[in-house]
Chain A
Amino acid sequence: MKAGIIVFPGTNCDIDTEKACKYFGWETEFIWHDDTELNKYDIIFLPGGFSYGDYIRAGRLAKFSPAVMSLKDYVKTKRGFLVGICNGFQILCETKLLPGILSTNTNTKFICEEVELEVNHDGFPKSVKFAIAHGEGRYIADEQTLQGIQAKNMIFLRYKNNPNGSVLDIAGLYDKENRIIGMMPHPERGVFSETGNIDGKYFFEMLNKALTKETVAAT
């Protein structure tokens, strides 16, 4: 199993994500944002941070980097999983790989805390606690888009006590057809007991299971 983590100038959750991937025994590499060779990876992460300083808006400039532009082919050919965490989710929305957009939190503050989430996925506990750390995490989409999201059962995570004003309490989306997951919470910060939370393991176990099944089927 090979995981790739795209690194932009300003990314700061790349090493946390790498440690989490390695914990699950995945061969893990960093992908510089100028690289376009993505086909060797079974899973690609867009980690948290502030890509290109989040100038103009969060995730806006990252959408023009060669690595992100190549993600469209990676998704189209259904090569593997694409996971965007925090800034990664913002990038996925900016590139329209996931619908909607993330805007400034209703309370205008950068929120850094542990939140309770409701999970909509089989084989995952119904409720988990993940860390969040963002200033622009308020999920917005128009009525038509929201209807589409619900019809496709794409809402993966919902806040129990909505901290940022997201519509329908949306904290994460999962496009099962294209295997794209985007979420504001940080599962990679909940893998090692030293962080005081190990709920993030469920997320990586979910990916591990899905990918292992695939590898077995391919051989």
Chain B
Amino acid sequence: MKKYKADIIVTLKKGVRDPQGAAVDTVLKRTGIQEIAQVQTGKFFTLDVTGSDETNAKAKLDTICREVLSNPVLESYKVERFVEL
């Protein structure tokens, strides 16, 4: 059994309004730091996943991302890092 460490970022899908991102954008504009920053908020997760090989562990990670960490109706996820421990 091999063990891997993965970093996952979950963000709202394109076209889904991100009110928290918009609020940060407004603050940046108001303070004059940056005119339009296109801020997008999201969530970061880091976790260990085991598997017989890389393909198996990645498939498991995919299920975790789809079923637990994100909701495909409005969110998408991206595996930022996947390394063997």
Contacts and interface: CB of A to CB of B under 8 A. Distances in A.
- Counting contact residues on chain A (CB < 8 A from B), the size range is 10 to 19
A24 B6 CA distance: 52
Nearest to B10: A56
Nearest to A105: B19
Contact of B23 (A94, A101, A108, A142): A108
Nearest to B45: A56
A197 interface: no
A101 B19 contact: no
Contact of A56 (B16, B23, B69, B73): B69
B71 A101 contact: yes
B68 interface: yes
B69 A101 contact: no
Say what secondary structure dominates the interface of chain A.
loop
Interface string A107-124: 110000000000000000
Interface residues of B, number: 12
A103 B16 contact: yes
A168 B69 CA distance: 28
A165 B16 CA distance: 12
Given A56-B43, A60-B68, A165 B17 contact: yes
Contacts of B74: 101, 103, 140
Interface string B29-53: 0000000000000010000000000
Interface of A: 56-57, 60, 64, 94, 100-101, 103-108, 140-142, 165
23 contacts: A56-B43, A56-B68, A56-B69, A60-B68, A60-B71, A64-B68, A94-B71, A100-B73, A103-B12, A103-B16, A103-B17, A103-B74, A104-B19, A104-B20, A105-B19, A106-B19, A108-B19, A108-B23, A140-B16, A140-B73, A140-B74, A142-B73, A165-B19
Interface of B: 12, 16-17, 19-20, 23, 43, 68-69, 71, 73-74
